[in-house]
Amino acid sequence: MRKTLTCGPPVISIDVEDWPQSTWNRDLPITDRAVGNTRRVLRILRNANVRATMFILGKLAERFPYLVKEIQADGHEVACHGYGHMEIAQLSPDEFLADVRRSKDLLEQITGEPVVGYRAPDFSIVENTLWAFDALAEAGFQYDSSVVPVRVVRYGIPDWPGAPVRVKLANGRTIQEAPLATFQMLGKNWPVGGGGYHRLLPGFLTRSLARQVMKTAPFVFYCHPYEFDVWELEEIPISLPLSVRWHQGAGRRYFERRFNSFVHEFGGQRMQDMLASQVWPEFELPSVNRGSIRKRTSGLS
- Listed by start position, the domains of the chain span 11-287
Go through the chain and tell me how many residues it has: 301
Residue pair 142/176 in contact (Cβ under 8 Å)? The answer is: yes
CB proximity list for 71: less than 8 A, separation 6 or greater: 16, 38, 42, 54, 56, 78
First to last CA, the chain: 32
Whether the pLDDT of residue 107 is over 70: the answer is yes
CATH topology of domain 11-287: TIM Barrel (3.20.20)
Residues 170-188: tens digit of each pLDDT: 888 999 999 999 998 887 8
Q: What predicted TM-score, i.e. pTM, was given to this entire model?
A: 0.92
Residues 244-292: tens digit of each pLDDT: 999 899 999 999 999 999 999 999 999 999 999 999 999 988 664 333 4
